[in-house]
Amino acid sequence: MPADDRPSRLKKITQNFFFHIHSPVAHPESLKPTTTFGLGVILGCLFLILLVTGLLLMLYYTPSVERAYASVKDIVFVIKGGRYIRNLHRWAGHGMVIAALLHLLRVFYTGSYLKRRALNWNIGIAMLIITLLLSFSGYLLPWDQLAFWAVTIGSNIAASMRELTDVLGLTAVFDPGGLVKRLLIGDETVGQPALSRFYMLHVILLPLTLLVLMGWHFWRIRKDGGLARPAGTEVRSGHPRAGPPARSIKAEKEAPIKTKDLRVTTWPTVLWAELALLAACCAVLMALAFFFDAPLREQANPMLPENPAKSPWYFLGIQELVSYSAFTGGVLIPLLFLVFLVSLPFKDREDRYAGIWFSDAKGRRLSIYSGLYAFGLTSFLLFINIQFGWMSDWIAGVPRVVIIFFNPGTLIVTGYVLWSAVIRYRTGSDRHAAMALFTCAVVGFVLLTALGTWFRGPDWEFYWLKSWWPAH
């Protein structure tokens, strides 16, 4: 029987190419389920499942306007197991978007961007964006009505910088929106160039980039000293520095304190936990793929928009904002949120809060109040907009530029920023101000996404229930 002492357990990790992505030891604090909820590992598992099912789908899929829809139909109705593989791929893709968003919440609320983790936080932001792009680019490939109109709208959101350049009268000479759109879909409207580009992005460029960033992300965790832990969780028991400071190096060396490494060995503890998460992911996906089919509508018809034509669900909040103004909803507000996320670890350096959910008692209260405030403000403005319309319905001939900068979307964002500024003033803490703003943004995102997903019907009118939609 091989030896099972600590050194041989460490060797299991360090002497194995595939395992040595792990640190040989892990702190018990990092392994508590409530520290991470295993979301990072779940994302890795889902990515693995997506790679395998994606490769299988590539055997039969043809990225041409004439053949794409028929080849997806073949996958669903002719290829043995094809429908099941496609379902797995679809639900794993959605799962990855959800898990990535939850992972963002987890990392933010535990203050895990603190203590010089700015680089890894921003690698994570890049990975979130790539995950969204991966899901969005995969959306077009079936070339059905859902795909075609979602991407038509998405590509025009990408061009929505034009609304501002139009107002300024610059579009003829300076058209960044049009350039982004043509880079994305290769033409003025969605067609074969768009399908070719999206296929290349979806199967090569984005997965490869994500893979590289994944490696970097994991490596940085180790370089940053493992997951963020609350102050006071020591690596060694009876560490000299835990007690009163030693007078000199000599005194410290002679201190008669016996220390013991509190960290557990990765083999087998962490590896079993990861295997369990992988098994759980597979089990949930297999059940979902068995019971729920991925949607496939009729073939894309460039002359007949779906009514309502909706983007993928995670963009429906943005689509709701875009229905007020293309520029503010499609460019300005997402960009502001991105600037907030990217600059966060450089502005907030209150390292004492690292690794603690909601920072402290005040932080917990504050998050609840922020959530309630954002809920109230957002639903009030949405109610006004749905019930009474907006300025172009009240006053004839309102200049476009007024609506661009004064619409429910900009008012909501202004309300959030003001609230955060008040919190900053009252608490004097960047971390608390950031928590206030982030909580508002999360509540706003959830509300707008729910509105766009469930309560918007034909002609983007408000309906409480889908069964109230008018029959065509």
Partner 1 sequence: MDQASAPVSRRRFLGKAAWISALCAGGLALVSVLRSIIPQQSRSGRKFTIGRLYDFPLNTYTRVNRHKIFVWRDHEGIRVLSAMCTHLGCIVNVTEEGFLCPCHGSRFDASGQVLAGPAPKPLPCYRVSLAPDGQLEVDRHRRIPFKDKLILA
Q: Token digits for 359?
A: 């920072």
Asked if residue 379 binds partner 1 (CB under 8 A), the reply is no
Based on CB atoms, which residue is closest to partner 1, 81 or 302? 302
Give the Cα separation of 156 and 326 in Å (integer): 9
Based on CB atoms, which residue is closest to partner 1, 67 or 400? 400
Which pairs from 60-64 meet CB under 8 Å and 24+ separation? 61/141, 63/141, 63/195, 63/196, 63/199, 64/192, 64/195
Residues of span 134-153 touching partner 1 by CB under 8 A:
149, 152-153
**Window contacting partner 1 (CB under 8 A); options: 10-18, 39-47, 188-196, 436-444:** 188-196
SS3 assignment, position 456? strand
Q: Which of 58, 179, 280, 368 binds partner 1 (CB under 8 A)?
A: 179
Q: Which of 110, 120, 135, 156 binds partner 1 (CB under 8 A)?
A: 156
The CB-of-252 to partner 1 minimum distance in angstroms stands at 50
The CB-of-334 to partner 1 minimum distance in angstroms stands at 15
Asked if residue 323 binds partner 1 (CB under 8 A), the reply is yes
Give the Cα separation of 67 and 44 in Å (integer): 32
The CB-of-390 to partner 1 minimum distance in angstroms stands at 9
Based on CB atoms, which residue is closest to partner 1, 291 or 464? 464
The CB-of-303 to partner 1 minimum distance in angstroms stands at 4
295 prior amide bond cis, ω within 30: no
Buried b (16+ CB within 10 A) or exposed e, 273-308: bbeebbeebbeebeebbeeeebebeebbeeeeebeb
Based on CB atoms, which residue is closest to partner 1, 187 or 351? 187
Q: Is the dihedral of CA 364, 99, 227, 341 positive or negative?
A: negative
Based on CB atoms, which residue is closest to partner 1, 107 or 184? 184
Asked if residue 340 binds partner 1 (CB under 8 A), the reply is no
Give the Cα separation of 234 and 243 in Å (integer): 12
Based on CB atoms, which residue is closest to partner 1, 352 or 400? 400
The CB-of-373 to partner 1 minimum distance in angstroms stands at 27
Asked if residue 334 binds partner 1 (CB under 8 A), the reply is no
**Window contacting partner 1 (CB under 8 A); options: 155-163, 204-212, 286-294, 432-440:** 155-163
Asked if residue 172 binds partner 1 (CB under 8 A), the reply is no
The CB-of-408 to partner 1 minimum distance in angstroms stands at 11
Based on CB atoms, which residue is closest to partner 1, 214 or 401? 401
Q: Which of 307, 343, 379, 414 binds partner 1 (CB under 8 A)?
A: 307
Question: Contact letters (x/-) for partner 1, 393-432, by CB under 8 A?
Answer: x------x--------------------------------
Q: Which of 74, 175, 187, 360 binds partner 1 (CB under 8 A)?
A: 187
Burial of residue 393 (number of CB atoms within 10 Å: 0-12, 13-18, 19+): exposed
**Window contacting partner 1 (CB under 8 A); options: 134-142, 163-171, 363-371, 443-451:** 163-171
Assess contact for 126 and 214: CB atoms under 8 A.
no
The CB-of-35 to partner 1 minimum distance in angstroms stands at 42
Asked if residue 199 binds partner 1 (CB under 8 A), the reply is no
**DSSP designation for 144:** B
The residue type at 370? S
Phi and psi (nearest 5°) for 265?
-80, 140
Assess contact for 175 and 331: CB atoms under 8 A.
no
What distance lies between CA 284 and its chain's CA centroid? 20
DSSP 45-80: HHHHHHHHHHHHHHTT---STTTHHHHHHHHHHTST
Asked if residue 459 binds partner 1 (CB under 8 A), the reply is yes
Assess contact for 228 and 30: CB atoms under 8 A.
no
Burial of residue 91 (number of CB atoms within 10 Å: 0-12, 13-18, 19+): buried
Q: How many residues bind partner 1 (CB under 8 A)?
A: 39
Asked if residue 470 binds partner 1 (CB under 8 A), the reply is no
Give the Cα separation of 470 and 440 in Å (integer): 34
**Window contacting partner 1 (CB under 8 A); options: 29-37, 64-72, 93-101, 156-164:** 156-164
Based on CB atoms, which residue is closest to partner 1, 325 or 429? 325
Cβ neighbours, 10 Å, residue 313: 17
Q: Which residues bind partner 1 (CB under 8 A)?
A: 149, 152-153, 155-157, 160, 163, 166-167, 179, 182-183, 186-189, 193, 302-309, 322-326, 389, 392-393, 400, 458-461
